[in-house]
Structure 1
Amino acid sequence: MLYFLLKNLFRIALRVFFKRITVNNRQRLLGEGPLIVISNHPNTLMDPVVTASFMKQEIYFLAKSSFFKPGWQGWLFHKLFMIPVYRREDVGDSGTAQNDATFSKCYEFLGTGGTLMVFPEGNSFMQRRLRPLKTGTARIALGAEAQHDFNLGLKILPVGLNYSDPSRFRSEVFVNVGEPLSLEAYKEAYVQDPFKAAHALTDQLKEILEELVIHSETDEEDQLARQIEAVYQDTLVRELDLAPTEPEEKFLITKGILQSIKYFEARDPQRVHALKEELQEYLSHLQSLGLLPEGVKQAPQKSKVAWGTLETLAYLVLGFPVYVFGVIHNYLPYLLPAKIAKALTKDIEFYAPMMMTIGMFTFPIFYTIIGLAVHAWLGLSGWALVAYLVALPVTGFFVLHYWHRIQVARRHWIFFSLFYRRSTVLQQLLEQRKRLMQVLEAARAEFLGSFPETKPKTETHP
């Protein structure tokens, strides 16, 4: 009952916390057990919530034993179908016997057609990278099948979680669901050597998950990829005739950018180094002026500047009363989750799930208090009170949009000021951007030329 209630509450909370959740191959999440769902693990408790929210069956989760503290926390985790795993780095060699009991419980659960979710990296770090996988998932899967002479029909379902900004409210998630993997092919290998079979399966799972996530080898490589995305992604979307807001297309573009970086690092590292320096110089110049890459493309037309300014001013003036109403009623319940999360933990990976969970309570509590107050002090009741309460979350979202519009207007004003008053600075920026585009276009052409069978209409790599 508690699991069902919290699952539905989290479904609602996810729709509020994230601006957009896109699931690729969603139908694969509808399969029933026996099933082991595996995923990368960049965002701690948010990861199982996101994936489980799209699955209809009850799911058991493997979680590190340190979460199961005595008292209410341990009780809650057990009620949420979590099974403790005793990692050597947490409990030393003493966890071996306890893990044997954990594995037995998993075998029994999978043998009855259950669904188990595992994060085989073993820990969570907010990186666009798949870390080495532990063999526990493979051992559980092969052990469960072995108990049924490999006739259980167990499948492993890989899921790649790709967050646009894991810790930020109203960011996006691209859930990339892979092809379910059967284990019949491992029967002979397991009979001969269970240890080697588990390692072979783990290697295969690693290859599968790397295809489903944005995977950079180093922080430096990821930083370069992000810089290229910031400057060049819009151009690629336009040239390849892709949907500008389609997460799958952006995912493929980023995969292509990382692949091209690896290509040139292996063949011409000096060229990569020069690109890094030029990108850093350009982006630092933009940052010093308070501009973003997507806002600097070409000198604006005077007619568009005038009309855009009038339109923005009209929106800001007419929307200001609604903005004030929304801020007054939503500021505290919006601010408190972030403050509480930062007070409870210094690990950034926990911020998002904590903020979302705390927000599930702060907003309803504050809205209830406000409703009681306006009923007592202003005499609102019936449909008038209902309309007032409905206006609270609606104006809360309007505040976010209004604030975003202010930031956009500010950047446009800076850009237009450069255009009219400091044209030399603007010209330098445009020249920098033009040189970068030429360098990136040349690199893209060379990289694509290394794939002779690539057809122009399906190109997705820079």
Structure 2
Amino acid sequence: MIYQILRWITQLAIHIYYRRIEINRPELLGIKGPLIIMSNHPNTLMDPLILAALFKHQVGFLANASIFVNSMVNRVFRYLQVIPVYRQQDLAPGQVLDNTKSFGACYQHLEKNGSLMIFPEGSSIHELKLRKIKTGGIRIAFGAEDRNDFDLGIQILAVGLYYSNPLRFRSKVYLNFGEPFTLKNYQENYQKDEINTVQTLTAQLRKSMEELTIHIPDEGQEKLFIQIKKLFKKELTRDLRAEQNQIAEFNINREISSGIRFISQYYPESFDQLKDKINTLDQLDEQLHVKSNFERGRLKQWMLSFVKILSMLLGLPFYLFGVIHNYIPYRIPRILAEKITHEKEYHASVSMVIGIFIFPLFYGIYLWSLTWIFSPPPPDFALALYFILMAITGLFSYSYYRFALRNSYFLRIVLSASKKDRLQHFLDLKKEVKRDLDWAKTQYVERNKNEK
């Protein structure tokens, strides 16, 4: 019961923190154990929180043994089915690495039809590539099956996690599930050559996980991918969806990353020229903050300016109400997260967990203040309505702020004569780069057709 309550709270928190959570095969969230979930690990604590909250049954974890700091914490982790695993870097000099007990606990968990979540990369870093996959997860699966004559029927489910922006509140998350598979067909090979079979299946798992996420092994290509997404996402999304019948946004990002790798490999000179142009374009964008489409007539720009200003004025009262009630509880988790850890990878998850406690606390204080200020106190339905307004306008205020920020950049350009030349240079260069991207896309699509 306690786990279910925690799961509900976490579900609510992640659906508030993220604007959209997209799942390619949601029916697999109800898959039964024994099950081992193998996922990439781009966003530290947020990854297990999201997966545990979304699966319909309790999921156990393998976690770094260093977090088991005292008996009280250990009891909590045992209740949450967290199994400690030891790493070489966590051991004292001369201490021998021994995960025999950890593996035994995993076997027992799976033998009870439990589900186990493992991040086989072993560490979490914000980067668009899959790091080396360790063999531990596959070894656990084979070990449990071997001591049960391969009759357990453990299913292995590969998962690809992708965040549109891992550090930003109200960004998007994509969960991509592969096809679950069992180990029965590998029994003979495993019993003949354990090491080679584990390595072979680990390599297959890695290939599957690469296909389920955005994998860009080169830092320069990753930077270019981020710049193209920022500058041309709308145009590329429109083109690809028109050609491929409402293709999902994650798949569009995969096509962009695959195209970048293709051009880099087969047309290196064109790739270098494209990279230089996009770097220049990105620098101009940073100077001008070109957040709107300026490829329209002067009259339309002024009309759009009027509509945007009117929208901001109409939304201002709701924005102010939301800011008054939400700014402090919004800022406190972010400040505390930065104080608790300097590693950016942890900021989102720590902020969300702290926010689970901070927001209800402050909302409770605000409601108590109303009952203290007014005599007689407001009726319960009025307090409930006030609570709902605080939550709704809090989300509205964040969207309004970003909308207003984009509009301020738009109006500065429309009203500034000094920025006109730079804006025109930006638009001309953007058209030129778009032609280059169209050419690159044509080469990429043609080669894919020929290979098929």
TM-score range, shorter chain: over 0.9
1:278 alignment partner in structure 2: 277
Secondary structure of the corresponding residue to residue 123 of structure 1: coil
8 Å Cα contact 1:2/1:79 also seen in 2 = no
Task: Tell me the distance in 1 between the aligned counterparts of 2:169 and 2:14.
Answer: 10
1:391 alignment partner in structure 2: 389
Number of matched residues?
A: 448
Task: Tell me the distance in 1 between the aligned counterparts of 2:207 and 2:451.
Answer: 23
8 Å Cα contact 1:42/1:125 also seen in 2 = yes
The Cα of 1:315 is off from its aligned counterpart by 2.2
2:10 alignment partner in structure 1: 10
C-alpha change, 1:6 and 1:242, in structure 2 (3 Å) is farther
Task: Tell me the distance in 2 between the aligned counterparts of 1:410 and 1:263.
Answer: 38
The Cα of 1:5 is off from its aligned counterpart by 2.2
Stretch moving more, 249-258 or 116-125? 249-258
- CA shift digits 1:233-282 (9 cap, x unpaired): 322222233599x7x62222222222222222223322211111110011
C-alpha change, 1:286 and 1:377, in structure 2 (3 Å) is same
Task: Tell me the distance in 1 between the aligned counterparts of 2:96 and 2:374.
Answer: 61
1:291 alignment partner in structure 2: 290
Tell me which amino acid in the other structure corresponds to 2:386.
Y
2:445 alignment partner in structure 1: 448
C-alpha change, 1:408 and 1:224, in structure 2 (3 Å) is same
Secondary structure of the corresponding residue to residue 288 of structure 1: helix
8 Å Cα contact 1:18/1:173 also seen in 2 = yes
Which residue, 377, 381, 390 being the options, matches 2:378? 381
Task: Tell me the distance in 2 between the aligned counterparts of 1:175 and 1:242.
Answer: 24
8 Å Cα contact 1:243/1:249 also seen in 2 = no
Secondary structure of the corresponding residue to residue 57 of structure 1: coil
Tell me which amino acid in the other structure corresponds to 2:359.
F
Task: Tell me the distance in 2 between the aligned counterparts of 1:120 and 1:390.
Answer: 41
Task: Tell me the distance in 2 between the aligned counterparts of 1:243 and 1:76.
Answer: 51
Stretch moving more, 129-138 or 264-273? 264-273
8 Å Cα contact 2:68/2:84 also seen in 1 = yes
Stretch moving more, 20-29 or 446-455? 446-455
Which residue, 337, 340, 347 being the options, matches 1:344? 340
Stretch moving more, 225-234 or 127-136? 225-234
- CA shift digits 1:164-221 (9 cap, x unpaired): 1112111110111111011122111110121111111111110010000101102211
1:359 aligns with 2:352: no
Stretch moving more, 338-347 or 391-400? 391-400
Normalised TM-score (structure 2): 0.94
2:257 alignment partner in structure 1: 258
Secondary structure of the corresponding residue to residue 191 of structure 1: helix
Task: Tell me the distance in 2 between the aligned counterparts of 1:305 and 1:427.
Answer: 14
1:102 alignment partner in structure 2: 102
The Cα of 1:343 is off from its aligned counterpart by 0.3
Task: Tell me the distance in 1 between the aligned counterparts of 2:243 and 2:443.
Answer: 25
- CA shift digits 1:342-361 (9 cap, x unpaired): 00001111111111000000
The Cα of 1:132 is off from its aligned counterpart by 0.4
Tell me which amino acid in the other structure corresponds to 1:442.
W
1:317 alignment partner in structure 2: 313
Secondary structure of the corresponding residue to residue 240 of structure 1: helix
1:89 aligns with 2:85: no
C-alpha change, 1:242 and 1:376, in structure 2 (3 Å) is farther
Tell me which amino acid in the other structure corresponds to 1:409.
N
Task: Tell me the distance in 2 between the aligned counterparts of 1:236 and 1:332.
Answer: 39
- Spell out the pairing of 1:96-135 with structure 2 (5 A cutoff): 96-97=97-98, 99-135=99-135
2:61 alignment partner in structure 1: 61
2:222 alignment partner in structure 1: 222
Task: Tell me the distance in 2 between the aligned counterparts of 1:124 and 1:336.
Answer: 25
C-alpha change, 1:168 and 1:74, in structure 2 (3 Å) is farther
1:51 alignment partner in structure 2: 51
- CA shift digits 1:147-167 (9 cap, x unpaired): 122222111011111101112
Task: Tell me the distance in 2 between the aligned counterparts of 1:110 and 1:212.
Answer: 25
Tell me which amino acid in the other structure corresponds to 1:393.
A
1:195 aligns with 2:195: yes
Unmatched runs of 5 consecutive residues or more in structure 1: 456-462
1:175 alignment partner in structure 2: 175
C-alpha change, 1:316 and 1:232, in structure 2 (3 Å) is closer
Task: Tell me the distance in 2 between the aligned counterparts of 1:390 and 1:451.
Answer: 51
Task: Tell me the distance in 2 between the aligned counterparts of 1:208 and 1:381.
Answer: 58
Tell me which amino acid in the other structure corresponds to 1:310.
F
Secondary structure of the corresponding residue to residue 321 of structure 1: helix
Unmatched runs of 5 consecutive residues or more in structure 2: none
- CA shift digits 1:375-427 (9 cap, x unpaired): 11123421222222221112211211221221121122134236x66543332
8 Å Cα contact 1:327/1:399 also seen in 2 = yes
2:238 alignment partner in structure 1: 238
1:267 aligns with 2:263: no
8 Å Cα contact 1:36/1:155 also seen in 2 = yes
The Cα of 1:44 is off from its aligned counterpart by 1.1
1:328 alignment partner in structure 2: 324
C-alpha change, 1:297 and 1:211, in structure 2 (3 Å) is farther
The Cα of 1:11 is off from its aligned counterpart by 0.7
Normalised TM-score (structure 1): 0.92
Task: Tell me the distance in 1 between the aligned counterparts of 2:254 and 2:436.
Answer: 19
Task: Tell me the distance in 2 between the aligned counterparts of 1:70 and 1:20.
Answer: 37
8 Å Cα contact 2:288/2:423 also seen in 1 = no
1:212 alignment partner in structure 2: 212
- CA shift digits 1:84-123 (9 cap, x unpaired): 00111212674543x1011111112212211111111111
Q: CA RMSD in A?
A: 2.1
Task: Tell me the distance in 1 between the aligned counterparts of 2:231 and 2:366.
Answer: 45
Kindly, what percent of the aligned residue pairs are identical?
34
The Cα of 1:13 is off from its aligned counterpart by 0.6
8 Å Cα contact 1:29/1:177 also seen in 2 = no
C-alpha change, 1:243 and 1:340, in structure 2 (3 Å) is farther
Secondary structure of the corresponding residue to residue 452 of structure 1: helix
Task: Tell me the distance in 2 between the aligned counterparts of 1:263 and 1:311.
Answer: 43
8 Å Cα contact 1:62/1:117 also seen in 2 = yes
The Cα of 1:453 is off from its aligned counterpart by 4.8
Task: Tell me the distance in 1 between the aligned counterparts of 2:307 and 2:259.
Answer: 41
Task: Tell me the distance in 1 between the aligned counterparts of 2:132 and 2:83.
Answer: 22
The Cα of 1:231 is off from its aligned counterpart by 2.8
Task: Tell me the distance in 2 between the aligned counterparts of 1:240 and 1:258.
Answer: 14
